[in-house]
Chain A
């Protein structure tokens, strides 16, 4: 069995209002080159001035990733030529990052696993090159410097990840944490989260050759690229060939990875300390103050949902990882209790509604009052759980209250024992074979008979009563 070893290198855009080294706006998708100044387009003589909000966000994320925050860190220049890099160097951190030695605990298929984080540092983004058509054939290119100087946090994990699913879950959790902290949207599609992966496969303790994959534009791409790469590398080794240490490009269209021209890799970045910026010094008090502002994070929430509310891992994760979902969920159960039922309604009915309408959960016109009403109807056995689902669906769409819907559509449960008994007698007559089977000891058919009664009642029969009366009638038949 070949075991993959995977490490991630993630760039998160920090959602400060202004750029990292100047006061230009970070607004996304603005008209090209409208948020620029001498600093972020590298005019001669311009100097960087560090945005304090970036430090705040960086420290916050660092703490959330269980990192040690360096009270003294420094900036370096990473030198390389590219048209969208206006100064000919990127200001980044190198020798001493803002944060180091952290970890995140992920949960996959009931297993907990620690993924260690080597470091997290802050740096500036480059501008954006826009090529007309294919880059190799493009006659000319456009450069948009709006993105130049947008703050980034680069997070580098140790190669602790052992499957594409784990990689996916790590990214999912990281993005969720960033959203809870309000430091990044984490939208991969908008480039607010970018991820490169390193992967090798090996049969034994000897590490395989590391391959880097770039151009991953979604979580799904990360997973697909890793799955493909594991297969490719495994096949090479099995055939007795060698895996080349290289950088490969993921091709979204055919789901494969392709080697990049080696020339692009021969970069010596000539890092050296940025003389325009003094060392970044952060006080212990500041770190502590930021630490106190960190809210309950999604992984902690998820664990609480599982432990305190007995939610399934999937439901707990799905609700806990989306701040708006958990806010909604928690505001409801604080009023109604019954977290399992509420979680069910949210994950099935409300999720469907959101998918259909493209709305956000904040816009759902079904709040704690409505939930309370619905749950009370179930509690007092006026409607069954199944009917309740229909009532909820109806209520969100029509805006009518659950009791109104139950009344108008006559959905109250049939609890009159005589009515139910006559229905049951009919069903028993219609299903003589099943009755015989039951009497012969095959008690499992009771389910079928209950179903038939429910069907006859249009779903309105009270299931508990049906069960009780049915058993009694069958015993009568036995005698």
Chain B
């Protein structure tokens, strides 16, 4: 008998629509898989079997099987609001907060008849690269349980890799979709900033946060982007630019496309297997008739320091609302200030507090110009570096990470952890679309990812190129 959980999301929807498999049947296959594996991997913070089954039964009754995601189980990162479910963003401070509304992406998924299966684990407020910063429990890499799945969308990456769900939604502020995708051997797409609504995404760094899919292949990423992309009246940072049919354009050739290799990437120490994987992807592109050019992003090395000023600055303000007054965790205190201090001291984890402190400092009077403002200028320069690059090429190719996944508790200092994102962060600073595609494994059998970066709002070409290099 066919194992439904082996199918891609695209295949699953196709077969459900053709009547080959049922919606409930599909869902039960996934629930069974979850039952077998979840205890070891721990990807979900919340699973609502009953609500999902009820929805599946409803869909099975329908005569017309409409919707791009008809009957497809979808997992949502826990920093995204789903009506009626707790949304903790992996933080103790939001324990008990139940969403009163659907995020725009969730609304879109529901509209296309996808089934929300549950909420996935993540680093607290998406701050981290290993999902070890979750206030509840770490998630493990399904490929090898001793290793982290990456983060912060580690739960979403792991549940797709473990075939516990067909497709998952994550968020990417500095690499939080692409890095776990690379670590778990799945596809992770970070769309252009402004392409997908952030309404309902619990903000970490508003000018960098982007929602995107983690999927089994590029086609599935295209399918989900078809559902979630577009202008949203609830988010003024979304842009009203034509949304292509990303599935439609996937197959076309990429002959004559110019692909840039960033010179400065090799200034960093990169694991040998990742260099090899990059090289073989480049060879594939050449084989498809692409032209490979070396280009320069001179300010690449300043991306990380700039990011670690801008993101914490915005976070310090975004996280101010978690004060225990209206929802979530609430401590006590003899007077207001003490109440705030106790609530936030007990409610936030160390990494979150560290970033709030960095951000608060960077925005303070007398430091604003030297930190926040300078970092913003550097960000603008990096953006210009990319603008120049994209005058010469159609896409860039580089490793997603410098190493494959690391073991739980392996990275001791915050700085070591921050370095994990050196190749993903510059892309967020520039707001560009990027995708991580699996490209083999290292000696230890851990997945390797290759990253493609496209021009602003040109996800169509990006996906097409990615489709050509995926295995």
Contact = CB atoms under 8 A, between A and B. Distances in A.
B364 A270 contact: yes
A270 B363 contact: yes
Given A38-B100, A270-B364, A43 B323 contact: no
B103 interface: yes
B372 interface: yes
B81 interface: yes
A275 interface: yes
B237 A86 contact: no
A272 B368 contact: yes
A376 interface: no
Given A79-B320, A83-B325, A44 B97 contact: yes
Interface in A54-89: 77, 79, 81, 83, 86-89
B365 interface: yes
A50 B89 contact: no
Given A44-B87, A77-B317, A83-B325, A272 B236 contact: no
Contacts of A47: 198-199, 234-237
Nearest to A84: B325
A270 B360 contact: yes
B321 A42 contact: yes
B158 to A, nearest CB: 23
B415 interface: no
A278 B237 contact: yes
A44 B81 CA distance: 8
A271 B205 CA distance: 15
A89 B199 contact: no
Interface residues of A, number: 28
A46 interface: yes
Contacts of B199: 45-47
Contact of A278 (B87, B198, B202, B236): B236
Contacts of B79: 45
B321 A275 contact: no
Contacts of A41: 326
A49 interface: yes
Given A44-B202, A275-B314, A276-B237, A88 B323 contact: yes
Interface string A132-163: 00000000000100000000000000000000
A15 B360 CA distance: 35
B323 A81 contact: yes
Interface in A262-276: 268, 270-272, 275-276
Interface string B153-186: 0000000000000000000000000000000000
A38 B83 CA distance: 12
B317 A79 contact: yes
Contacts of A44: 81, 87, 89, 94, 97, 202-203, 321-322
A45 B200 contact: yes
B201 interface: yes
B236 A276 contact: yes
Contact of B202 (A45, A81, A87, A276): A45
Given A43-B100, A44-B94, A83-B336, A270 B317 contact: yes
A339 interface: no
A130 interface: no
A270 B316 CA distance: 10
A51 to B, nearest CB: 11
A131 B124 CA distance: 35
Interface string A437-474: 00000000000000000000000000000000000000
A45 B360 contact: no
A48 interface: yes
A49 B320 contact: no
B321 A86 contact: yes
Nearest to A83: B325
A48 B236 contact: yes
A43 B101 contact: yes
A277 interface: yes
Contacts of A276: 203, 206, 236-237
Contacts of A272: 313-314, 317, 363, 368, 372
B339 to A, nearest CB: 9
A140 to B, nearest CB: 11
Nearest to A22: B234
Contacts of B203: 44-45, 276
Interface residues of B, number: 44
A35 to B, nearest CB: 15
Interface in B310-344: 313-314, 316-317, 319-323, 325-327, 336, 340
B201 to A, nearest CB: 5
Nearest to A277: B236
Contact of B87 (A45, A89, A275): A45
B177 to A, nearest CB: 17
A268 B365 contact: yes
B201 A45 contact: yes
A89 B317 contact: yes
A48 B233 CA distance: 10
Given A44-B321, A81-B320, A272-B363, A50 B236 contact: yes
Nearest to A268: B365
Given A46-B199, A270-B363, A87 B320 contact: yes
- Residue in A45, A50, A278 with the greatest tally of chain B CB atoms within 10 Å: A45
B331 to A, nearest CB: 14
- Residue in A42, A47, A89, A268 with the greatest tally of chain B CB atoms within 10 Å: A47
A143 B336 CA distance: 14
Contact of A83 (B206, B319, B323, B365): B323
A45 B87 CA distance: 10
Interface in B197-236: 198-203, 205-207, 233-236
Given A45-B103, A45-B203, A79 B323 contact: no
Contacts of B321: 42, 44, 86-88
Nearest to B327: A43
B80 interface: yes
A89 B323 CA distance: 12
Interface in A11-54: 38, 41-50
Contacts of A271: 363, 368
A88 B327 contact: no
A89 B314 CA distance: 11
Contacts of A143: 325
A143 B314 CA distance: 26
A38 B101 CA distance: 8
A143 B363 CA distance: 29
Nearest to B94: A44
Contacts of B80: 45
Nearest to A81: B340
A76 to B, nearest CB: 10
A225 to B, nearest CB: 27
Nearest to B235: A47
Nearest to B360: A270
A146 to B, nearest CB: 14
Contacts of B201: 45
Nearest to A278: B236
A44 B199 CA distance: 10
Interface of B: 79-81, 87, 89, 94, 97, 100-101, 103, 198-203, 205-207, 233-237, 313-314, 316-317, 319-323, 325-327, 336, 340, 360, 363-365, 368, 372
9 contacts: A38-B101, A43-B327, A44-B97, A45-B201, A50-B236, A272-B368, A275-B206, A275-B207, A276-B237
Which 3 A-B pairs rank lowest in CB-CB distance, beginning with the nearest?
Answer: A88-B320, A270-B363, A275-B207
Given A44-B81, A49-B234, 5 more contacts: A47-B236, A272-B314, A275-B314, A277-B237, A278-B237
